């Protein structure tokens, strides 16, 4: 039983570490724990309070995937060990009944992934120990030696059933619920986004996946924005509306976290703060480490000493944030006497209308390609040709002197607009390649070869607009 317990621990640790590691990190961000007495007192009045308290304490260590995988594996192995003790105390040949001890493991492993506060795992572990202790104590008085039918105790049967139940347990974690795999994929994107690993995001999210998965699309578009190549690939990755850049009217934690990340990356700090607060409210404890860390960094970036120190102090009372807090203290001291750098109230009020907000950012940062490309691509996605034409003319004098070196997408949009407004390209220099490709596209369309034209010119604004 000892060797089998060790083998099971290694197997389940590997399953959690190699196949669910980003989910483990996400669990840490979604949880919260504090050493302060008032936090402890909250759990006296809620159902499963002690289990929730212990669970939130353990979840802190999931910030290290190896530690989180070890805790998850221990929860799986403990019922097996307890069942092994029960079998040893009751049966003559317990080593031939290892498969029986695997039955509780199968039951628990099917419930572990969505055990967001560890209540199920902790209660299952508790009752496993209680049953083991009761059986052990009872057999000290009189220890039975129950025999087993020969076919159940056969070595081959024991091995086959044990392996089958191990495989079923692993399948219960990895393959039983497709939503679990989707959650792991999304947790990986969240992890990479928080660390600004934009190249890796674009490596794992293909254009085909972005067009079929709204969550992946938004991360891919944000990666394109951050890499400065949105205008080159926006429509390849499925941009179809100005609202494709963020999640509108959502309370789902991963969507809220993306919104907070998105607004933070494009410099709309007040919207990012709002989304981070919303994310905290959705967590099990009413606040989560992920939202607290983001709020602390946001207030640091805004030179708001009072609010930044508040959230850094909250995080200092957890178990695993010592180095994180220390890394922010120098910045915190530097802004102690600084004036908070909030945007004017009129500008803050525009976040409800994203298109208006981006246009305001373009107006304030006319030379910045990031804002201009977001706005221009949004207008093209919404097929607002007139507004696009006005805006491209507005920014061209700064970003494209003499109307030259326009991105291919903008050339394609301008030449398409000439079909209803021949003066659309006035002041711009359209490349010969774009003119030739558009002429070919129009000729094929006029000849009734629309399908071939769309296939040949698939990666163009013309094909999207059609």
Q: What is the pLDDT of residues 151-160, one digit of tens each?
A: 666 778 888 9
Q: Estimate to the nearest angstrom the gap between the alpha carbon of 350 and the chain centroid.
A: 27
Q: Which residue in this structure is represented by tokens 């969240």?
A: 190
CA-closest candidate to residue 318, choices 62, 34, 7, 5? 34
Q: Is 248 exposed, middle or buried (0-12, 13-18, 19+ CB in 10 A)?
A: exposed
- What single DSSP character describes residue 146? B
The pLDDT assigned to 349 comes to: 41
Residue with tokens 């002041």: 427
For residues 276 and 284, give the distance between their C-alpha atoms in angstroms, rounded to a whole number.
15
Q: Which long-range contacts (CB under 8 A, 24 or more apart) does 241-250 make?
A: 241/378, 241/381, 241/382, 242/354, 242/355, 242/358, 242/378, 242/379, 242/381, 242/382, 243/354, 244/214, 244/217, 244/218, 244/381, 245/218, 245/221, 245/354, 245/374, 245/378, 246/218, 246/354, 247/218
CATH architecture observed for domain 181-345: Alpha Horseshoe (1.25)
CA dist., res. 228 & res. 221, Å (int): 10
Q: Let me know: does 315 contact 292? Beta carbons within 8 Å.
A: yes
Ranges under pLDDT 70 in the chain: 147, 149-153, 343-352
pLDDT tens digits, 62-93 = 999 999 999 999 999 999 999 999 998 888 87
Q: How many CB atoms neighbour CB 367 within 10 A? A: 10
Which of 307, 326, 290 is CA-nearest to residue 193? 290
**Structure token digits, residue 175:** 């393959």
Q: Where are the domains of the chain?
A: 2-176, 181-345, 372-465
Q: Which of 100, 212, 103, 105 minimizes the C-alpha distance to 148?
A: 100
pLDDT score recorded for residue 151: 65
What is the Rg, in whole angstroms, of the alpha carbon atoms belonging to the chain?
29
Say what the pTM is: 0.90
Q: Most distant CA pair in the chain: distance in Å?
A: 100
pLDDT on residue 351: 54
pLDDT at residue 96, as a whole number = 80
CA 315 to CA 351: how far, in whole Å? 29
Q: Quick one: which of 248, 239, 276 has its CA closest to 375?
A: 239
Tokens 């394109």 belong to residue? 224
HEC per residue, 27-66: HHHHCCCCCCHHHHHHHHHCCCHHHHHHHHHHHHHHHCHH
């Amino acid at each position: 039983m000892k060797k089998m317990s060790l083998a099971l621990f290694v197997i389940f640790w590997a399953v959690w570490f190699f196949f669910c590691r980003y989910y483990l990190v996400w669990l840490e961000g979604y949880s919260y724990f504090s050493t302060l007495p008032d936090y402890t007192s909250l759990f006296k009045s809620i159902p499963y309070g002690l289990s929730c308290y212990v669970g939130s304490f353990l979840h802190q260590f999931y910030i290290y995937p190896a530690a989180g995988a070890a805790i998850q594996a221990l929860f799986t192995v403990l019922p097996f060990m307890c069942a092994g003790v029960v079998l040893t105390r009751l049966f003559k040949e317990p080593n031939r009944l290892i498969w029986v001890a695997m039955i509780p493991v199968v039951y628990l492993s099917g419930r572990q992934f969505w055990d967001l506060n560890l209540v199920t795992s902790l209660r299952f572990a508790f009752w496993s120990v209680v049953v083991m202790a009761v059986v052990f104590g009872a057999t000290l008085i009189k220890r039975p030696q129950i025999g087993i039918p020969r076919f159940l105790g056969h070595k081959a049967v024991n091995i086959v059933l044990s392996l089958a139940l191990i495989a079923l347990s692993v399948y219960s974690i990895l393959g039983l619920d497709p939503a679990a795999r989707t959650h792991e994929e999304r947790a990986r994107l969240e992890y990479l986004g928080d660390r600004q690993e934009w190249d890796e995001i674009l490596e794992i999210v293909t254009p085909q996946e972005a067009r079929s998965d709204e969550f992946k699309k938004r991360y891919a578009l944000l990666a394109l924005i951050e890499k400065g190549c949105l205008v080159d690939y926006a429509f390849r990755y499925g941009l179809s509306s100005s609202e494709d850049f963020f999640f509108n009217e959502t309370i789902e934690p991963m969507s809220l976290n993306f919104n907070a990340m998105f607004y933070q990356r494009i410099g709309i700090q007040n919207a990012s703060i709002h989304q981070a607060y919303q994310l905290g409210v959705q967590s099990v404890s009413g606040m989560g480490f992920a939202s607290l860390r983001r709020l602390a960094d946001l207030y640091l970036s805004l030179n708001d000493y009072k609010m930044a120190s508040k959230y850094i102090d909250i995080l200092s009372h957890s178990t695993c944030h010592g180095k994180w807090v220390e890394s922010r203290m120098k910045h915190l001291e530097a802004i102690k006497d600084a004036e908070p750098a909030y945007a004017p109230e009129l500008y803050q009020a525009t976040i409800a209308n994203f298109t208006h907000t981006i246009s305001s950012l373009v107006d304030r940062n006319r030379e910045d390609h990031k804002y201009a490309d977001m706005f221009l691509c949004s207008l093209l996605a919404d097929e607002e040709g007139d507004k696009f034409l006005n805006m491209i003319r507005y920014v061209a004098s700064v970003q494209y002197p003499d109307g030259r070196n326009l991105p291919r997408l903008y050339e394609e949009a301008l030449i398409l607009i000439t079909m209803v407004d021949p003066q659309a390209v006035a002041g711009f220099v359209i490349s010969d390649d774009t003119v030739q490709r558009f002429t070919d596209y129009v000729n094929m369309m006029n000849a009734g070869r629309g399908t071939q034209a769309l296939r040949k010119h698939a990666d163009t604004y013309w094909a999207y607009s059609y």
